[in-house]
Structure 1
Amino acid sequence: MVLVLHQLVLVMMTSLANFTGALPVSKQLEYLRHYKIHLRQLVGEMVAEKVIKNAIFVISMGTNDFLQNYYSDPARPKQFTLKQYLNFLNSRMFLAVKGMHRLGARRVAVVGVPPFGCMPLVKTLRDKTNCDGMSNEVAFLFNNNIKQTLETLKASLGIETAYIDIYNVIATAIKYPNIYGFKETSKGCCGSGLIEFGDSCKGMSTCADPTEYVFWDAVHPTQKMYKIAADEALDSISKSMLA
């Protein structure tokens, strides 16, 4: 039963990667192996190992796995309970880190997921004026799993780890927009701001000043919001790995 579940979800994850254009973890690890070979040829084995060892590997996963898979396909919740899906995603992250460790990685940072329930698209689909608490709880549980798994990996593999908290950064910007100079937190800059995202924004009108918006479209933050999150991420990494 466990094997069948794993195989089914593995196919599902590969399909999602193909749908979004993202590379499956297995392919990314393959590219890392190839990169390491080329690096050895360029600088020699000792220097190559040092480069890999001192590099910081950043993993970001989970958002599309929920928004464009578990929640968008009505069949998914019937196939897998939320707990099963959370555990599977966590196990994939665990295996990805172990795979990178085998290739020499010793510093790994994992980005948590944002507050799903505050995304304009989710609020529209859930018919919510404010953030959807149930969706945010899923994101909170997923992030907690990540933090616990990172502690396990740190203890078992002896690697340096960092958790990048994007959830609270975005949640704070939405709750206290004046801190960052935002004026619009409930909808995106593109189109209606409530449903369009990605390619569906092509040809749509946009707001006059994106720097006043937390969200660019109904899912993705604006460049300004990403910059704020990136600064927080660099601060977390610096404190965890570069101090």
Structure 2
Amino acid sequence: MKVILICLVASLYIHGNDGTTYLPDDAFVPAIIAFGDSLLDPGNNNYLKTLTKANFPPYGKDFLGGKPTGRFTNGKTLGDFLAKALGVKEYLPAYLDPLIKDNDLLTGVSFASGGTGYDPLTSKLAGVIPLSLQLEMFKQYILKIKAKAGEEAAKNIITNSVFFVSANSNDFLTNYYVFPIRRLQYDVPGYGNKLVKLAVDFIQEIHKLGARRIVVFSAPPYGCIPIERTIAGGVNRRCIDKYNKVAQMFNGMLKQEIQFLASSLPETRVVLADFYNPLISIIENPQQYGLEVTDKGCCGTGKIEMSFTCNKLSKICRNDSKFLFWDSLHPTEKGCNIYINLILPDLMKSLFRY
């Protein structure tokens, strides 16, 4: 209880490389809580009967002595970098980890499940945790922290935490464009509208449960993801303009709805974190960010391997810090770090400057 009270009155300071303070002196973040897909999954899928896993080498080769934890990268995920950037802790743990400690519960967890999306069909096809079940897990989590910290402290934790939501990529890339069901029901704009509605519904649900600082990641440039270049980018594996336009269309819809939602929720910050433009900048100007390879991953050929096809038999690139992508879908630890540094200043202003 004493630890919680200390957290609740502490002032945190976030400094950029140039010494700029991004987080106001009177702001504090007791915990961060994540929902969504593999970008924020630190190992929840380890405890599921699914092929969408990353709890084996070479995943995690740069994480705490080379330990594969279920993170879909070589080291830290976006969630880990965000937890550190907000001054909360070094690593964001998986809620389903049976060894999770009380302090980890009190300072935040991730409910994210690699392979999921806003569309319930997406998670069903992958055999992973849908957002509806992640929401139920969050309700269980609230009861747990109430039992450990008391009703008032638990309320303060939830109110002052930052919530992150990452979904949408699997909806389009492993559902809509692979399986025929949704394509028979919706054209692309219609499916985009469906996903945006589901995203807004989810935001409203976590708001009802106390969330007041919510960050939603936009769609990345789908057409520049290595596996999509391989499948549909031709002999030269170019970025697929059609897929990128779909991402831009979805982002435009989502931005409009989030702005409307944010204006209707008092004392609440709902922020759209741009995942598209920063990645395009990195992909088109790798040397500017200390990178060399942005069109393929470090694992195997880097063109098609991910999850079980990226394994201990796969050849690994010599220096993963020069690669934006770890496998054919997920960014490296270096890529995650670069991206977070790009969005952090504006993100902090949007969340905390009133």
Q: TM-score, with normalisation over the residues of structure 1? A: 0.89
What pairs up with 1:146-225 in 2 under 5 angstroms? 146-158=254-266, 159-202=268-311, 203-225=313-335
Match of residue 56 from structure 1:
162
d(CA) in 2 for partners of 1:38 and 1:221?
33
Instruction: Give per-residue Cα distances to partners, 1:68-120, cap 9 Å, x unaligned.
Output: 10111144322321112101111111111110111111111001121011112
SS at match of 1:113: coil
d(CA) in 2 for partners of 1:122 and 1:193?
12
Preserved contact between residue 108 and residue 162 of structure 1 (Cα < 8 Å)? yes
- Structure 2: gaps of 5 or more residues: 1-117
Amino acid at match of 2:338: I
d(CA) in 2 for partners of 1:207 and 1:103?
44
d(CA) in 2 for partners of 1:172 and 1:39?
41
- Given candidates 142, 145, 148, the residue that maps to 1:42 is 148
Task: Count matched residues.
Answer: 232
Amino acid at match of 2:299: C
Match of residue 30 from structure 2:
none
Instruction: Give per-residue Cα distances to partners, 1:51-72, cap 9 Å, x unaligned.
Output: 1111111111101111110111
CA spacing shift, 1:75–1:98, aligned 2, 3 Å:
closer
Preserved contact between residue 162 and residue 236 of structure 1 (Cα < 8 Å)? no
Match of residue 6 from structure 1:
none
- Is 1:69 equivalent to 2:175 in the alignment? yes
CA spacing shift, 1:69–1:90, aligned 2, 3 Å:
same
Preserved contact between residue 107 and residue 241 of structure 1 (Cα < 8 Å)? yes
Match of residue 95 from structure 2:
none
d(CA) in 2 for partners of 1:168 and 1:190?
25
SS at match of 2:304: coil
Amino acid at match of 1:34: Q
d(CA) in 1 for partners of 2:225 and 2:193?
23
What pairs up with 1:228-243 in 2 under 5 angstroms? 228-243=338-353
Match of residue 4 from structure 1:
none
- Given candidates 193, 210, 214, the residue that maps to 1:108 is 214
d(CA) in 1 for partners of 2:272 and 2:166?
11
Preserved contact between residue 218 and residue 275 of structure 2 (Cα < 8 Å)? yes
- Structure 1: gaps of 5 or more residues: 1-11
d(CA) in 1 for partners of 2:325 and 2:279?
10
Cα drift, residue 22 of structure 1 = 3.9
d(CA) in 1 for partners of 2:192 and 2:205?
20
d(CA) in 2 for partners of 1:196 and 1:155?
42
Amino acid at match of 2:245: E
- Is 1:91 equivalent to 2:91 in the alignment? no
Match of residue 78 from structure 1:
184
d(CA) in 1 for partners of 2:172 and 2:208?
29
d(CA) in 2 for partners of 1:213 and 1:140?
24
Which stretch of the first structure deviates more once superposed, 230-239 or 24-33?
Answer: 230-239
d(CA) in 2 for partners of 1:230 and 1:23?
25
d(CA) in 1 for partners of 2:214 and 2:172?
23
d(CA) in 1 for partners of 2:167 and 2:233?
26
SS at match of 1:77: helix
Which stretch of the first structure deviates more once superposed, 24-33 or 107-116?
Answer: 24-33
- In angstroms, what is the RMSD of aligned CA positions? 1.8
d(CA) in 2 for partners of 1:49 and 1:22?
29
